[in-house]
Amino acid sequence: MKAANHQITWLGQLGNNPLAVAGLLIVGLLCIVALSAPWLAPYDPHAIDTWHILESPSRAHLLGTDLLGRDCLSRLIYGARISLLVGIVAVGIATVIGTILGSLAGFYGTWIDGLIMRLVDIILCFPTIFLVMAVIAFLEPSILNIMVVIGLTSWMGVARLVRAEFLSLKQRDFVMAARISGASNARIAFSHILPNAVAPILVATTLGVGGAILTESALSFLGIGVQPPTPSWGNMLTEGKDNLEIAWWLSMFPGLAILVTVLGYNLLGEGLRDALDPRIRDSEGKS
Amino acid sequence: MQDWKILSRITFSSTIILNMSMFLYLIKKIFTLGSTFLGITLISFMVMHLAPGEPMSLQTDFNPKMTPEMRERLRAQYGLDRPLHIQYLQWLKGLAVLDLGLSFSPDRRPVWDKIKERLPVTLLINILAIGLILVIAVPLGVAAAVHHNSIFDQITTVLVFVAYAAPAFWVALLLMLYFGIYLGWLPISGLHSLMGYTQMSGWEKLLDWCRHLILPVLVSALGGLAGLSRYTRSSMLEVLRQDYITTARAKGLPEKKVIYKHALRNALLPIITILGLSIPGLIGGSVIFESIFAIPGVGQLMWTGVMARDYPLLMGNLVIVSVLTLLGNQLADIGYALADPRIRAGVKTKD
């Protein structure tokens, strides 16, 4: 009953925020585009057409063609798949690691907490791109490796959030009640404390997808991310850089796509944060 | 007379006590820093040994002139025939004297030399970027907070979101396209002009450098600008809600004084910490704009090292950059401690 009330309230709150709704629409649109790529794209993204090299946007090719005559619009649409895939999987990995480590640190405290927080501080000293570049230099720059590495370097934020939730909720009455009724540590952690942490985790995850997409496109741009011919918005921009003076459309559209996508996720994430936070405080007050 | 003696005695003992607590604080700090540094080296070392096969294999495997004996000699020379933890300790010993080994690339120069000559450039651009961020983001955030929910606030919020979401390398390309190629105002690569540089006077050289640095600094500052102005805004809003602001207003102080003398000072404190935290992001961003604008800094060095699988260079670069970040964070901490009078007075603030 209470959960049902919750859902209607925060969703309604989200609906009142026009920026958040815009974010939601953008994200939704992106998902639709990515899923329907084979039907949506006018051309095959790998189809080389040497008769139509570097054509500016026209009726036949709405966003122009690239150095090998491939249609930019189709490549852009297929690129959405890559960005979405990498973003979601990388953040998924980061969330899982962060939640586990954060809950361990917050729940047990003492040296486990100290150790995990020290690890967080250490990893935060590395500029992410440097670390990711160094790792990918030694593994193959495949999509799987990129996802794993980005996930391994972005779990720290989630860990801190989860730890904070655990630290603050550990002392609460409902936890003591659960302990008295004989619940094991694992059960207390998972069934009682963790559900309260879902809200900030959700916010961090949404915002994290935007960050992951930016990182992946930066890597692809530098040549150590998604390798051509697989279209990724980042490696499309590499080609754009090489042909900057003669083909502005190669640089304009992929970047615009990244901008709109990350913007969408950020708006949605911020909207979720505004919608969920006071709700949580209210619910804790009542419980 | 007696008062003087009492006073001097109090001063003496309080100096000792303060120094002792300072001393303990320093010891604790050194321990924290030391363990973080060790952690950094450990992770860097582990990362470099992730590769399947050996670090040398790229150089040796496809070289037809490489005999098995030569391969063994190379391994011994680089110490790769010893167990992993020994290799780690060897490397640590070298780190202590800044001997990061020799680069794998054909020129075989010491890694530290390569890093040393490029570090000032990256540092220069990043420091200028931090300056630019402070100068623009703080007033922007304060103005947005003071005119909360006005049109100005809403427009800046949207702009900030857009700046935050824009990929830096794309913005760099657009700026290059517009200012460099289309308008031809600003040069698009390098640190200074290639032609006629030596004939320029001192002032002309300075101007030349400035023209070359504008775009990289702008691109570097972009992301941090968005983040910091947002943070300033929320910090300022938080402060403006406080009771002492209401008191100041009730006392009849002019609004300007309330904002600048009372609210701003308190709102600025966490910004120092945030600046410290954004250092790794700035240095990481160097990779991108250094590649695009052909600036010879440590970011570009990292990239060429990755392309060439230059293992000692990558390890050395990674450690140096992380240590710099560590130092930067410590500076930010010290700055915060100096700026916050509550800490100076020894009041325990929450950790």
How much is the pLDDT for A151?
92
Contact across the interface for A133 and B165, Cβ inside 8 Å: no
Place of tokens 């990515």: A34
How much is the pLDDT for A19?
80
**What's the angle, vertex CA B62, arms to CA B59 and CA B67, rounded to 5?**
85
A244 near B CB under 8 A = yes
pLDDT of residue A168 exceeding 70, the answer is yes
How much is the pLDDT for A97?
93
The shortest C-alpha distance from A242 to chain B (Å) reads: 10
Closest B-chain CA to A124: B280
d(CA A64, CA A62): 6
Residue among A121, A128, A241 whose CB faces B292 most closely? A241
Contact across the interface for A266 and B281, Cβ inside 8 Å: no
Q: Which two tokens stand for residue A257?
A: 């796509």
Contact across the interface for B167 and A127, Cβ inside 8 Å: no
A254 near B CB under 8 A = yes
Higher pLDDT residue, A99 or B20?
A99
Q: Confirm if B186 and B180 have CB atoms less than 8 A apart.
A: yes
Distances (CA, A) of B27 to B19, B20, B22, B32, B345: 12, 10, 9, 9, 20
The shortest C-alpha distance from A266 to chain B (Å) reads: 8
Closest A-chain CA to B58: A138
How much is the pLDDT for B54?
56
The shortest C-alpha distance from A196 to chain B (Å) reads: 24
Contact across the interface for B177 and A129, Cβ inside 8 Å: no
How much is the pLDDT for B256?
78
Q: Which two tokens stand for residue B176?
A: 């290059």
User: Which CATH superfamily hosts domain B112-345?
Assistant: MetI-like (1.10.3720.10)
How much is the pLDDT for B173?
86
Q: Confirm if A129 and A215 have CB atoms less than 8 A apart.
A: yes
Contact across the interface for A139 and B50, Cβ inside 8 Å: yes
How much is the pLDDT for A142?
83
How much is the pLDDT for A263?
92
d(CA B172, CA B167): 9
Q: What is the pLDDT of residues A230-249, one digit of tens each?
A: 889 998 998 888 887 788 88
* Helix ranges, chain B (H): 2-48, 57-60, 68-78, 84-96, 111-146, 151-165, 168-175, 202-240, 243-250, 255-257, 264-277, 279-292, 298-308, 311-339, 341-344
In this prediction, the answer to ipTM > 0.90 reads no
How much is the pLDDT for B303?
87
Q: Which residues of chain B have pLDDT under 70?
A: 1, 51-66, 71, 74-82, 100, 103-106, 183-188, 190-200, 343-351
Contact across the interface for A122 and B287, Cβ inside 8 Å: no
Binning pLDDT at 50, 70 and 90, where does residue A281 land? very low
Reported for B269-272, long-range contacts at CB under 8 A and 24+ positions apart, including other chains, are B269/B336, B269/B339, B269/B340, B270/B231, B270/B235, B271/B138, B271/B228, B271/B231, B271/B232, B271/B235, B272/B332, B272/B335, B272/B336, B272/B339
A136 near B CB under 8 A = yes
Q: What is the pLDDT of residues A177-204, one digit of tens each?
A: 877 787 777 777 777 778 888 888 998 9
Which amino acid, A249? W
Give the count of beta carbons closer than 10 Å to the beta carbon of residue B10: 10
State what percent of residues in chain A have pLDDT above 90: 20
3-state secondary structure of A64: coil
How much is the pLDDT for A89?
95
Residue among A222, A240, A255 whose CB faces B303 most closely? A222
- Name every chain A residue with its beta carbon within 8 A of the beta carbon of B182: none
Closest B-chain CA to A236: B170
How much is the pLDDT for A280?
44
Residue among A127, A137, A261 whose CB faces B325 most closely? A127
Q: Confirm if B328 and A141 have CB atoms less than 8 A apart.
A: no
d(CA A259, CA A203): 19
Q: Where are the domains of chain B?
A: 2-96, 112-345
Higher pLDDT residue, A41 or B18?
A41
d(CA A150, CA A146): 6
How much is the pLDDT for B262?
76
Closest A-chain CA to B310: A137
Q: Confirm if B300 and A102 have CB atoms less than 8 A apart.
A: no
Q: Residue B27: which H helix or E strand, with range?
A: helix B2-48
Q: Confirm if B309 and B58 have CB atoms less than 8 A apart.
A: yes
d(CA B92, CA B162): 44
d(CA B349, CA B342): 8
d(CA A265, CA A287): 32
Contact across the interface for B47 and A138, Cβ inside 8 Å: yes
Give the count of beta carbons closer than 10 Å to the beta carbon of residue B137: 25
Binning pLDDT at 50, 70 and 90, where does residue A36 land? confident
The answer as to CATH 1.10.3720.10 being correct for domain A2-286 is yes
The shortest C-alpha distance from A257 to chain B (Å) reads: 10
Q: Return residues 15-74 of A near B (CB < 8 Å).
A: 19
d(CA A284, CA A278): 10
Give the count of beta carbons closer than 10 Å to the beta carbon of residue A123: 20
Give the count of beta carbons closer than 10 Å to the beta carbon of residue A44: 14
3-state secondary structure of B136: helix
The shortest C-alpha distance from B161 to chain A (Å) reads: 7
A114 near B CB under 8 A = no
For range A164-169, the mean pLDDT? 85
Look over chain A and give the mean of its residue pLDDT values, rounded to a whole number: 83
Q: Confirm if B104 and B59 have CB atoms less than 8 A apart.
A: yes
Q: Which two tokens stand for residue B293?
A: 């604008």
d(CA A285, CA B47): 46
- Name every chain B residue with its beta carbon within 8 A of the beta carbon of A255: 166-167, 170-171, 173-174
Contact across the interface for A134 and B165, Cβ inside 8 Å: no
Closest B-chain CA to A121: B36
d(CA B149, CA B158): 12
Tell me which DSSP letter residue A126 carries: S
The shortest C-alpha distance from B200 to chain A (Å) reads: 29
Q: What is the CA radius of gyration of chain A?
A: 22
Residue among A127, A214, A255 whose CB faces B283 most closely? A127
Q: What is the pLDDT of residues A101-148, one digit of tens each?
A: 998 888 887 888 888 998 998 888 888 888 888 888 777 788 888 899
The DSSP bridge partners found for residue B102 are: B110
Place of tokens 């990182």: A215
CA atoms within 13 Å, Cβ hemisphere of B188 = 17
- Name every chain A residue with its beta carbon within 8 A of the beta carbon of B104: none
At B110, phi and psi to the nearest 5? -60, 140
Q: Confirm if B222 and B282 have CB atoms less than 8 A apart.
A: no
Non-local CB neighbours of A209 within 8 Å, separated by 6+ positions: A87, A88, A91, A265
Q: What is the pLDDT of residues A247-274, one digit of tens each?
A: 888 888 899 999 999 999 999 988 888 8
B216, with CB counted inside 10 A (0-12, 13-18, 19+), is: buried
d(CA B31, CA B174): 46
Q: Confirm if A239 and A250 have CB atoms less than 8 A apart.
A: yes
Query: Which of A219, A262, A226, A253 has the alpha carbon at shortest distance from A72?
Result: A253
How much is the pLDDT for B94?
77
